[in-house]
Amino acid sequence: MTLPAHSPEPAAAHAETVEDFKHNLASIKARIEAAARKAGRDPESVRLLPVSKTVPEERLRLAVEAGMDFLGENKVQEASRKAEALADIPELKFSVIGNLQTNKAKFVAKFAHEFQALDNVRQAAALQRRLEAEDRQLDVFVQVNTSAEESKFGLPPEAVQEFVDQLPQFDRLHVKGLMTLALFSDDKEAVRACFVRLRELRDLLRTTAPEGMVIEELSMGMSGDFELAIAEGATVVRVGQGIFGARALPDSHYWPGFAGDKPAAE
């Protein structure tokens, strides 16, 4: 398929029933599989993380019934509220994929199974302390700013080595890989360059990461660009609107300064 990156129509129809969710999920999975095969990769090597921000708890119960048991949420309070409301579903796990203020580390430590936006030592120390208190562990991804946009969170690529060198002291954090948000652009090559940058950094860290740390995962690609990300090596794709339908809240709510907002569709 030759959709431009960040195609103007990445959203699925608004899913309201278990059948709708099954349908949207199957369609995204088929596209993941096709993109992986085209890149000569095993489709099983790409994990789909459905991103459920703004989707209310009642609809999430339907999503779980349709087979989703690991959900990505951008904002920690929203995620925490949902984890509590859905605590009766034992198989349901949450990944926090958005920027985290240090003073909110305690929430993540309580309920999250994964945190994909690690980008500073104070945050790592706060998570470690809170995880010790909860006697829990957490899988983490280091967020990298591959687009050099000021509004994006994450470390510049050249700062990542020094950062990961400091992580072994935090034994409750299990470093799995790197995460990025590509440039928001219709310029497919500019988007691709962000994915390539993340992969090359991962390849370098394979030999330079601290002893015992295996940095293998690449979390990159969203509804509008996940096929391109898979072509460049993504092992986790974070798909929201392609599964749940368009969001009512503009993306600037999640990425301050993001200029690409389209009018809300719902």
- Our finding on whether 223 is near ligand PLP (CB under 6 A) is yes
- Our finding on whether 32 is near ligand PLP (CB under 6 A) is no
Tell me which residue has its CB nearest to ligand PLP: 240
| Minimum distance, C-beta of residue 242 to ligand PLP, in the bound complex (Å) | 6
| Minimum distance, C-beta of residue 96 to ligand PLP, in the bound complex (Å) | 10
Q: What is the largest CA-CA distance in the chain?
A: 50
DSSP string, 71-96: EEESSHHHHHHHHHHTTT-TT-EEEE
Near ligand PLP in 92-151, by CB under 6 A? 97-98
- Our finding on whether 53 is near ligand PLP (CB under 6 A) is yes
Cβ-based nearer residue to ligand PLP, 53 or 172: 53
| Minimum distance, C-beta of residue 263 to ligand PLP, in the bound complex (Å) | 15
Q: Using CB under 6 A, which of the segments 78-86, 168-176, 197-205, 221-229 binds ligand PLP?
A: 221-229
Query: What x-and-dash track marks residues 237-266 binding ligand PLP by CB under 6 A?
Result: -xxxxx-----------x------------
Q: In the numeric block, which tokens belong to residue 264?
A: 């809300």
**CB atoms inside a 10 Å sphere around CB 219:** 28
Strands, E, within 54-148: which ranges? 70-73, 93-96, 114-118, 138-143
Q: How far apart are CA 32 and CA 12, in angstroms?
A: 15
Distances (CA, A) of 179 to 16, 63, 142, 209, 246: 30, 24, 6, 16, 23
- Our finding on whether 218 is near ligand PLP (CB under 6 A) is no
Near ligand PLP in 166-195, by CB under 6 A? 181
Near ligand PLP in 1-30, by CB under 6 A? 10
Contact 97, 117 (CB under 8 A): yes
In the list 52, 74, 95, 180, the residue contacting ligand PLP (rule: CB under 6 A) is 74
- Residues contacting residue 36 through CB under 8 Å, at least 6 positions apart: 42, 43, 45, 46, 230
**CB atoms inside a 10 Å sphere around CB 167:** 21
Interface residues with ligand PLP (CB under 6 A) are: 10, 51, 53, 74, 97-98, 181, 222-224, 238-242, 254
